[in-house]
Chain A
Amino acid sequence: MSYLLRRLEFFAITLWAALTVNFLLPRLMPGSPAEAMLVRFHGRVSPQTVKAMEIALGVHSDQNIVQQYLEYLGNTFTGNLGVSLTFFPTSVAKVVMLALPWSLGLVGTATVIAFILGTLVGMLAAWRRGGIFDAILPPVLIIISAFPYFWIALFCLLLFSLTLNWFPLGFAYDLTSSINLSWDFIGQVVSHAFLPALTIVITSIGGWILTMRNTMITTLAEDYVKMARAKGLSPFRIMLQYAGRNAILPNLTGFAMSLGFVISGAILVEIVFNYPGLGFMLLQAVNGEDFALMQALFLLITVAVLVAVLIADVLTAWLDPRTRQA
């Protein structure tokens, strides 16, 4: 189990690094735009809240930096992140928690679909080496990978919403209705999430396909695959359980590494579709100079990515017996 322990250690270190970056950034930048923001809060929220935000944003404090750092860590872990300026007087923690489910649902689902679909297609492309599929896919995917996510989003919006009128223009559900659990509302959520999800799948699937195809090509040349063929196993079984299972490991590692990029793209997609997730809210926070909210969002997005990476690590450990030894 030392593999998982090492990954847990990495998780903890990265989390600490993100927390520290978050703490240091406002202190490293010349001038303090946050100071002007904080002035607006005086007298409107409790002194403890103002103090928590002063510490988080590095605005004049009588404590030394170590004390500030410790207090910042304490405040962060207890969810004491101050008050949002954009959504005054709601607390940052509350605002962030309102956005989280939308992002998790949209980006999570789309990423999992893209990963599974991409891995399968990549596996098939390598299996039928030299087929039409295999010849056309790589160049097409490379070109698609060069399109900016947000531009694909704009294009989908133009084609499917404005021209064909198949899908709504933005947001997560019809603005006239309130959140409830009726079938009608669920239908709205699905139709509003469809285009953003499609965009994320289109733009991120290429990476998974190419990595999987390229590793699968190497794996198919291995002796154990030849052996399996010689034994007369069914091609399907060889593809999935012999070559595929081994080839998927680098793809899972790749998943962990490129998730940060996928999330970055997803943020822009949310912005284009006005989808009320973390990314859209991040832009609102930046535009409204709502620094407390902005930093909380940065932290939360990073933590979400870290958790996903940890899940990928657990899957790797489950699929690859070698990680469980040594």
Chain B
Amino acid sequence: MAVPAIASQEIAEPVEPRAGVLRNVFSSLISNRKALAGLAVLLLFTLVSAFAPVLAPYDPHSLQFDALLQPSLQHLLGTAANGQDIFSQLVWSTRESLLLAVVAGVFATAVSVVIGVTAAYLGGAWDHVLNLFTDVFLVIPTLPLMIVIAAYAESHGVWVLITVITVTGWSYGARQLRSQALSLRNREFLDAARVRGERSLYIIFFEVLPNMTSLIVAIFLGAALYAVLAAAGLQFIGLGDTNDLSWGTMLYWAQHNGALLAGQPLWVIAPGLCIAALGGAFALVNYAFDEISNPALRPVKKRKR
């Protein structure tokens, strides 16, 4: 929030009060029910991952219990094929899943911003080439590409997943940012900055970007949803580190050990619901953002005809 504040001090001509943009966005988010629900779920998962050692009753890797126990008070979700407590695994897995979503979401958003805004700002041939590049990445199906990259990678750690998700997940945001930046390009305050002789980098970072804050947040939310689902998918087919604890990896082991046929459906259902809740939280906040920025989409009371 410091950045917009600096920018508005240094600009001679009055622009819309940018320091207030984030606050406005925040207050409208709080008053929107969809957004509130989404934010509550995000907060919950953040707390769970922070307090995982307290919340999980057992060591998630411990093999001390009997295999495939049915749910009971001792084991809320039963035990896995090697006797691990499924509930403890679920709690600990929140950490990696949340981390992957946020970090990969931030990285993908950063790439979107760099490519989308640069294309719009530079214009001409640069814009043409970068735009084409974006469209190509948009059309190439991401999962096969992710699978191929992950298959060639030597290790399958978290960073491989983050890299793969970033490489495949930036294009949608870049496209949206480019069109918004294009509409900003000829605004007067940018002309003023150019006349003042500011460098391009300064204009992009301190004049253009602060005006796009809300779109950037929306793109981050979309990218985070994508990251949640992509990470889960890759881990499910065994392209993550199968020793890590995350919801996708739990599903991999559940599928690997035939959890459904072995009569342990909760082993499959619980991590899936967590993935959906985390993804759904990002999606709900994102949709609420849409409603806030486009009043036409807000829910209407039944109107008379």
Interfacial residues, chain A to chain B (CB-CB below 8 A): 10, 13-14, 17-18, 21-22, 25-26, 29-31, 33, 129-131, 135, 138-139, 142-143, 145-151, 154-155, 157-158, 162, 214, 217-218, 221, 256-257, 259-261, 263-265, 267-268, 271-272, 282-283, 286-287, 289, 291, 294-295, 297-298, 301-302, 305-306, 309
Contacts and interface: CB of A to CB of B under 8 A. Distances in A.
Interface stretch (B62-70, B82-90, B132-140, B200-208): B132-140
A196 to B, nearest CB: 16
B274 to A, nearest CB: 10
Contacts of A150: 232-233, 236, 251
A151 B287 CA distance: 23
B140 A305 contact: yes
A155 B152 contact: no
Of B229, B279, B281, B302, chain A has the most CB atoms within 10 Å of the CB of B229
B77 to A, nearest CB: 15
8 closest residue pairs by CB, A with B: A264-B143, A146-B279, A151-B272, A146-B280, A29-B152, A260-B141, A130-B302, A147-B276
Nearest to A297: B144
Contacts of B284: 139, 142-143
Contacts of B143: 263-265, 267-268
A306 B152 contact: no
Contacts of A14: 135-136, 139-140
A194 to B, nearest CB: 18
A148 B140 contact: no
Contact of B233 (A17, A18, A218, A264): A264
Interface residues of B, number: 57
Contact of B303 (A13, A130, A272, A283): A130
Nearest to A154: B268
15 contacts: A14-B136, A21-B140, A145-B283, A146-B276, A146-B278, A146-B283, A148-B275, A150-B236, A154-B268, A158-B260, A260-B139, A260-B142, A267-B143, A282-B144, A298-B144
Nearest to B150: A286
Given A130-B301, A142-B283, A148 B272 contact: yes
Contacts of A158: 260, 265, 268-269
B114 interface: no
Interface string B147-176: 111011110000000000000000010000
Interface stretch (B13-21, B52-60, B292-300): B292-300
A302 B140 contact: yes
B225 to A, nearest CB: 6
Interface of A is mostly: helix
A238 to B, nearest CB: 13
A286 B143 CA distance: 13
A267 B144 contact: yes
A223 B275 CA distance: 44
B34 A139 contact: yes
Contacts of B237: 268, 271, 283, 286
Contact of A157 (B140, B229, B260): B260
Given A129-B303, A162-B261, A217-B296, A142 B280 contact: yes
A254 B102 CA distance: 26
A5 B147 CA distance: 32
A17 B287 CA distance: 33
A131 B268 CA distance: 36
B140 A260 contact: yes
B44 interface: no
Contact of A148 (B144, B232, B261, B300): B232
A142 B287 contact: yes
Contacts of A217: 296-297
Nearest to B282: A146
Contact of B297 (A17, A139, A214, A294): A214
B298 to A, nearest CB: 10
A184 B272 CA distance: 36
B283 A143 contact: yes
B148 A25 contact: yes
A143 B276 contact: yes
Contact of A21 (B135, B145, B260, B301): B145
B180 interface: no
A134 to B, nearest CB: 8
A264 B165 CA distance: 13
A14 B297 CA distance: 35
Contacts of B229: 146, 148-149
B152 A268 contact: no
